[in-house]
Amino acid sequence: MNIGQASDASGVSAKMIRYYEEIGLIRPMGRTGNNYRVYGEEEVHVLRFIRRARSLGFSLEETETLLKLWQDQSRESAAVKDVATAHIADLERRIAEMQGMVKTLKHLAHCCGGDQRPNCPILDDLAGDAPAPAPRKTKQPA
Amino acid sequence: MNIGQASDASGVSAKMIRYYEEIGLIRPMGRTGNNYRVYGEEEVHVLRFIRRARSLGFSLEETETLLKLWQDQSRESAAVKDVATAHIADLERRIAEMQGMVKTLKHLAHCCGGDQRPNCPILDDLAGDAPAPAPRKTKQPA
DNA sequence: TCTTGACCTTCCCATGATGGGAAGGTCCAC
DNA sequence: GTGGACCTTCCCATCATGGGAAGGTCAAGA
């Protein structure tokens, strides 16, 4: 199986497969005489594993840890759960951060007329107590 | 006011102030004879505006748009609201995506013993129906 | 006056994960 | 034997930010 077929079979782009090899996430593959990488079913399984981990938001570093745990028959499931739990906490922290933004923005947008008049509480919030600056371009047109 | 003082006053790092100037988000500042940038109160207000916009998750591109609207006395508040509304939608999309990950991960973590035994539904999920690969290193130790 | 340390300047590099594309080699089907 | 679809490596871009080097400047204190 060439890299294109492994890509189709795993859903990981050929570009990424080469990158994962470069950073040591997957082993360097064997080559045929023409210097093409050769893949088998097992490599495709590994790539699918990586894709699934990425789709759940795990970083490549976390994915590498999970991959090693998967390949370690004597792993303790606690180690896997720790990685997942930490990731959940990180996701929840980021979600809360964004929800805070949304809450503020929705309030401001609600208070904004959204019409042809210039008065705008959104800009007022961003400006703080600063006076509107003198009209000028921040970027000169070419 | 030198860049360090403008940084302290605005909460934007000197590094970022120079970068914002480089990409045209803020005007190139005047220089003193020793080639130091000079800032006034108005520039600090602009930097605070940028910082506030960034803290609400607006991209630098969106921030530039908002900055121009702020400086345009004849703006229509609808234009500002449009930017905010689109950003809210983007945040909500990303939040929903992450919430989906959290939901899946919490379910898997809940089902995982998290003990010293190797059996792990989290890895089972990541692996799909693939057999556990033969134990091997993905990265050779030095 | 000289030194020291805290500034400032520009320039280059790194992040994380991915894509785009060029230049060149290979293989297969017609 | 030729064209097109592959493959290879290499470089660059993203987005916003930080780190750090090498060198210039300034102010305060001995």
**Mean of the pLDDT values across residues B6-10?**
96
Angstrom distance (rounded) from CA A126 to CA B56 = 9
> Which residue in chain B is spatially nearest to A24 when comparing CA positions?
B139
> Which residue in chain A is spatially nearest to B41 when comparing CA positions?
A130
Structure confidence at residue A136 (pLDDT): 44
For chain A, what is the radius of gyration of the CA atoms?
A: 25
Is the CB of residue A48 less than 8 Å away from at least one CB of chain B?
Answer: yes
Is the per-residue pLDDT at A64 higher than 60?
yes
Residue B3 carries which side chain, given as an amino acid letter?
A: I
Structure confidence at residue A142 (pLDDT): 25
Angstrom distance (rounded) from CA A49 to CA A63 = 9
Is the per-residue pLDDT at B12 higher than 90?
yes
Q: Which B residues, 112 through 131, put their C-beta within 8 Å of a C-beta on chain A? A: 112-120, 122-123, 125-128, 130-131
Buried/exposed A101-134: b ≥16 CB within 10 Å, e otherwise: bbebbeebbeebebeeebebbbbbbbbeebeebe
Structure confidence at residue B135 (pLDDT): 55
Angstrom distance (rounded) from CA B87 to CA B21 = 24
Our measurement of CA B40 to C1' D26, in angstroms, reads 20
Per-chain mean pLDDT for chain B: 91
Report the largest interatomic distance among the alpha carbons of chain A, rounded to a whole angstrom.
Answer: 71
Is the per-residue pLDDT at B57 higher than 70?
yes
Alpha-helical segments (H) within A11-40: 14-22
> A-chain residues within 8 Å CB-CB of B27?
136-138
C-alpha pair distances (Å), B112 with each of A4, A53, A57, B133 = 35, 16, 19, 20
Q: What is the pLDDT of residues B87-135, one digit of tens each?
A: 999 999 999 999 999 999 999 999 999 899 999 999 999 998 777 676 5
Q: How many other C-beta atoms lie within 10 A of the C-beta of residue B94? A: 14
Using CB atoms, which residue from B78, B94, B102 is nearest to A116?
A: B78
Structure confidence at residue A135 (pLDDT): 55
